[in-house]
Structure 1
């Protein structure tokens, strides 16, 4: 837990800059790689307003894509969106040496394999972030709530490298759950994300109250969640029998919530359709599980793309 731990954050948007701040507060040497906003961050660093206090910081180095790294990284943390247009393995590779551990703080299911195939000699640590954070201006981030991480070595276990980075995040002030079966944790998060995120987009950016209170809405969400449960069980990660009821009850307790994919849609940003929906359908095909509603939703997005809706 000192400056001897060198971290490179690839994709320092709202998520990446926040977790970079946490590691900086823990005493790490933190560098960032940016695809945009380089000039603003190079000049002023990050300004982060947070319930945890002032997390503003200047990275120890600021790079553009294609720059040459100075020194070797102990950890490379990838926080870019999981999109078919982004080759994450190629994006990370310049910053990885023989002894670098790769940390993925990203959404979706089965999102590790692409990176592991590109970097077969580097351990993968997979993380799920539970956080409300957004970019409000170049280099300016608003952290509204939460921030906890669930992490584990991929495909299973909790390695010493995983325990070490978890301890650094905790030293920086956030809670970390270490999981021996991080794929199972991804399935549990997918139980909600896979139906609700794409469905909200197909409903024009609808919030959770609209989705559940529209006649037939809750029944449709439950049916889609049941399909996710069936795929997860076939993949070796069965859900508790009350998982759907608990998720629906929890969603109903929330105020009207517009999820991150709906916000991406409403703001014309690329969406992680394949990572969150398409990969579940692909896994269903591998196991021979019938998922007609999820399949229909995926095909609908494909049609939208053919018709020129580039947001999809």
Structure 2
């Protein structure tokens, strides 16, 4: 299995390292950490062990790849200013499957339109992991994955990808309704990511002191999913609350990006959800408030630059 990881931050570095552990040939496209990763690899600290992931090749851009991979795995942030299709186009061959391990809802259409004749595998990571320094990744908890063909179905390539991750020691599930799975993950993301920023930097354990608000946001996400024809399990909110209580105090990815002055995935996580609700005629006052407050928070941060 030949894999190219595009976006070698916390998610890309961690899951690329796991695929390499499973025996895949893993190369990476690395921008900000290029020199460190090329010379020293990526150091992983995890309950699964501590090791250094040394990619088969390290590139500055996908166009440097000489042989098209079996899978191009996109792990960049989903931001309006990032043209994901352009980032990977030169590496995508006739038999390349495109894999997204990214946050947000309704994020696949851009890639589906750009590569109509390629298999598009949408994926979700349920993990507490962060990049602590150039070439340094800390995995704290969880790590499970879900994959499915977009817009629906399970293919042999999805199954092979899941099997590779299973060999590396993490649970990887194939699902025929990856769109529902995305809304399922948004139940957590839409609540905890923006609240971690708006609260001034609180970790998940402190955010749970406002459980009523969190549950209200989660219920609105469930209502959108149901209106779009992807109803979520009745216990999805209870499961998310319980799993958050079990995890160590965690700074969300959005909070880490905010504190580092990086762009935020506000549109992918909140904006897309609010727009979907408007199309479906679903009332989501809590989501709309969080979205507006996050846009104001971003404006305030930009005004200080």
TM value normalised by structure 1: 0.90
Aligned residue in 2 for 1:89: 85
Q: Which residues in structure 2 correspond to 1:146-225 (within 5 Å)?
A: 146-213=142-209, 217-225=210-218
Whether the 8 Å CA contact 1:76–1:100 is kept in 2: the answer is yes
**Cα offset, 1:284, TM superposition:** 0.6
Cα distance in 2 between the residues matched to 1:72 and 1:256? 41
Is it true that 1:277 corresponds to 2:270 in the alignment? yes
Cα distance in 2 between the residues matched to 1:51 and 1:8? 25
Aligned residue in 1 for 2:103: 107
**Segment drifting more, 106-115 vs 129-138:** 129-138
Give secondary structure in 2 for the equivalent of 1:309.
helix
Aligned residue in 2 for 1:60: 56
Whether the 8 Å CA contact 1:7–1:74 is kept in 2: the answer is yes
**Segment drifting more, 95-104 vs 241-250:** 241-250
**Cα offset, 1:149, TM superposition:** 1.0
Q: Which residues in structure 2 correspond to 1:285-300 (within 5 Å)?
A: 285-300=278-293
Aligned residue in 1 for 2:253: 260
Deviations 1:176-216 (A, max 9, x none): 11111111111111112112211221121223343343xxx
Give secondary structure in 2 for the equivalent of 1:170.
helix
Cα distance in 2 between the residues matched to 1:23 and 1:187? 26
**Segment drifting more, 224-233 vs 202-211:** 202-211
**Cα offset, 1:157, TM superposition:** 1.0
Q: 1:132 to 1:297 in 2, by over 3 A?
A: closer
**Segment drifting more, 25-34 vs 251-260:** 251-260
Q: Which residues in structure 2 correspond to 1:238-249 (within 5 Å)?
A: 238-249=231-242
Aligned residue in 2 for 1:75: 71
Whether the 8 Å CA contact 2:141–2:247 is kept in 1: the answer is no
Aligned residue in 1 for 2:128: 132
Whether the 8 Å CA contact 1:77–1:103 is kept in 2: the answer is yes
Aligned partner of 2:37 among 35, 41, 44: 41
Give secondary structure in 1 for the equivalent of 2:64.
coil
Whether the 8 Å CA contact 1:127–1:149 is kept in 2: the answer is yes
Cα distance in 2 between the residues matched to 1:244 and 1:14? 26
**Cα offset, 1:152, TM superposition:** 1.1
Deviations 1:146-178 (A, max 9, x none): 322111111111111111111122222322111
Whether the 8 Å CA contact 2:29–2:62 is kept in 1: the answer is no
**Segment drifting more, 237-246 vs 30-39:** 237-246
Cα distance in 2 between the residues matched to 1:205 and 1:6? 39
Deviations 1:17-69 (A, max 9, x none): 22111121222221110111111111122222333234323211110026421
The RMSD of aligned alpha carbons is 2.1
TM value normalised by structure 2: 0.91
* Structure 2 unpaired stretches of 5+: none
Give secondary structure in 1 for the equivalent of 2:52.
coil
Q: 1:146 to 1:301 in 2, by over 3 A?
A: closer
Greater Cα radius of gyration, structure 1 or 2: 1
* Structure 1 unpaired stretches of 5+: none
